[in-house]
Amino acid sequence: MATVNEIAPDVFRISTYIPQAGLQFNQFLVKDQEPLLFHTGLKMLFPPIRDAVAKIISPTQLRWIAFSHFEADECGSLNDWLQLAPSAVAICSIVGATVSVGDFAIRPPRSLKHKEILNTGKYRFRFLQTPHVPHAWDAGLMFEEVNSTLLCSDLFHQNGDVEPTTNSSVVERMKQMFLDYQKGPLAYYMPYTKYTDKTLQELADLSPKACATMHGSTFLGDGRTAIMDMAAMMKQIIGK
């Protein structure tokens, strides 16, 4: 079953723990005039996530379905949502629309430019192109400007069945994930390029108050410091 927690005003974290993977898979529903879902979840998780969304809004009312990059846990059930919600439109980067989503989705997606604003009613989302951060060349993130919530995909990834939110640093948890993954086939989970530092600095400059991650607890607090600490850790562990 999926659990539901409000992690910021009108932002609901829908989380499913899969023991075989040792991971939580999180989606974020924004309740607004034009509701937005960030991450669809794996296709096999569509029924419990749909039921969790139904506790907050009618799933048929979804207007926007967004995600960072083309990957199963990011958008595996996209077409199920598009079939359920007749007015819903997928949101992704220009690269994502061109190379994957435009072909995969049953309706054309809306592609956003770097720093383009999407209004959902009360809330404003700034889209940020972040190629290869966390990974994939089509990657992009969304920043909700009213309450300073960063929907950050796999950044701040933490393994295990952890609490919905935390005020404590999650960088050590992410560091442990990298160290664990270095021992096996997931060693190249996240790339580190000459653009990584610049991209993370741009995210830090947003000074988010909440960092809503795909896997693990949402960090609440000084997002600027947390991102810069994460950047230093990533450079140390995978930037060699």
Place of tokens 């592609």: 111
Identify the CA nearest to 134 among candidates 170, 188, 184.
Answer: 188
CA dist 7 and 145 (Å) reads 15
Amino acid 108: pLDDT: 98
Amino acid 102: pLDDT: 98
| Contact present, 157 and 170 (Cβ < 8 Å) | no
pLDDT digits (tens, 9 = 90+) for 93-150: 999 999 999 999 999 999 999 999 999 999 999 999 999 999 999 999 999 999 999 9
Q: Which residue ranges form the domains of the chain, and what is each CATH number? A: 3-238 (3.60.15.10)
Amino acid 96: pLDDT: 98
Amino acid 124: pLDDT: 98
Amino acid 1: pLDDT: 86
Cα 63 from chain centroid (whole Å)? 17
CA dist 18 and 9 (Å) reads 27
Amino acid 240: pLDDT: 74
End-to-end CA distance of the chain, in Å?
40
Residues of the chain with pLDDT under 50: none
